[in-house]
Structure 1
């Protein structure tokens, strides 16, 4: 299979997935920062009614896309639930088969993933094995709608260092949260969109965050906060990280049953 991600645009900041009909803000090998569909396309999110072990999920995704007449390269986002946060060593090992699958599907450009991803470690009732919770893909549309997808942003800097590592006091949790908000805002800007256009914001944390709904924390998001925030008692996938934030704009969401 030839690689449909043909490289950087003239702006030098985005990748182009021509076969899948979307553009990508690259981030690293495990996931991209965000994607935005080409004109005439939109993102659809499909949630599984019953989660599926990851080793069965790729065939399910491929069959679903084939069934609706879309190429596998239309796959642009995956949401996973993991049994517990991983050490950095375990994280690297975990990524090996996942990235091999993306390469088979033509969704890697050199060492950059073309797919958004979130890996969430639930604090209550986690799965026994890493499982697929939801996935997203692009489809043609005649609607005048703006959709986009971001990967989950944890409290981990671009240098790989965890923000306020080892500290879960109120001020540290506030610092971690503000970092994720600012990072998501920066990705939105790179995609050419804004908080105003989001349809869903999700926050993952376990420890208390002071004045979470105040003007200087979630209030920084602005008017879209009136739509609410989906909050989970959960952690990012890397041990010692404590906060993760997601944002997306979706018009169509499905609930699928495993066949």
Structure 2
């Protein structure tokens, strides 16, 4: 994986799909701040609050570098594409999305219990000047789908197999994907300050071998009882290194 600079936001990113990048890392002299909403905010209201917070901090909207969303239920492949086409309209207005490349990392998962009525904001990240020399980065959510141009059924590891062995391979594939993204920025699990997992499947039997022994739980693991955003995906993760976090 390679990274690309995004000078307007004071960060670099891992190019991926039109709807999101695979991760963002602050430039030297800047740090990433994560802001979590105390309650979920519908997409339009969330974008408005994100803009206000960033501008009140004296930063341009192009400093927006990552977000965490919650959706009512897993999408079909076509439904996910339609949602993403709507989502990137605001990013284009903010000078982030040029019609092809999107520097903003993202996680978008679906709570199994008490889901929101519509796609909503859970948290977001942006860059700000800092004298802190410690690096900061956000790795986007990734699940057990192989890269490539095929459909999800063609790319999902152990498609529709939620047996113990199937779940083990899904977790292993996801952890491997996270490690590839971390290494693109020159980092590993030992550099993270937070790791999050999203699944409704019982992955506890593989935690020691597939997570702890890989170093993913350096700072513990936050498990959200939620599904990945596309039907038939079963296990997703994201991680970050952020020194400044706020709840509003």
Gaps of 5+ in 2: none
Q: How many residues align?
A: 243
- What is the CA distance between 1:109 and its match in structure 2? 4.6
Distance in 1 (CA, whole Å) between partners of 2:170 and 2:81 is 23
Gaps of 5+ in 1: 1-11
Distance in 1 (CA, whole Å) between partners of 2:101 and 2:226 is 27
Q: Secondary structure at the match of 1:151?
A: strand
1:76 is the counterpart of 2:71: no
Q: Secondary structure at the match of 2:239?
A: strand
Contact 2:192 2:219 in 1 (8 A): no
* TM, length-normalised to structure 1: 0.90
Partner of 1:157: 146
- What is the CA distance between 1:110 and its match in structure 2? 4.8
1:23 is the counterpart of 2:12: yes
1:254 is the counterpart of 2:232: no
1:35-63 per-position Cα deviation (integer Å, ceiling 9, x unaligned):
11110000000000111100222222111
Distance change (3 Å), C-alpha of 1:57 and 1:226: closer
- What is the CA distance between 1:221 and its match in structure 2? 2.2
Partner of 1:219: 212
Distance in 1 (CA, whole Å) between partners of 2:78 and 2:47 is 24
Work out which of the residue numbers 123, 135, 139 in structure 1 matches 2:112. 123
Partner of 2:229: 237
After the TM superposition, which parts of structure 1 deviate over 4 Å for at least 4 consecutive aligned residues? none
Distance in 1 (CA, whole Å) between partners of 2:238 and 2:33 is 16
* TM, length-normalised to structure 2: 0.94
Q: Secondary structure at the match of 2:84?
A: helix
From the two aligned structures, give the one with the greater helix fraction. Answer: 2
- State the superposition RMSD in angstroms: 1.4
Distance in 2 (CA, whole Å) between partners of 1:18 and 1:144 is 19
- What is the CA distance between 1:107 and its match in structure 2? 1.3
Q: Secondary structure at the match of 1:211?
A: helix
Partner of 2:200: 206
Work out which of the residue numbers 160, 163, 169 in structure 2 matches 1:166. 160
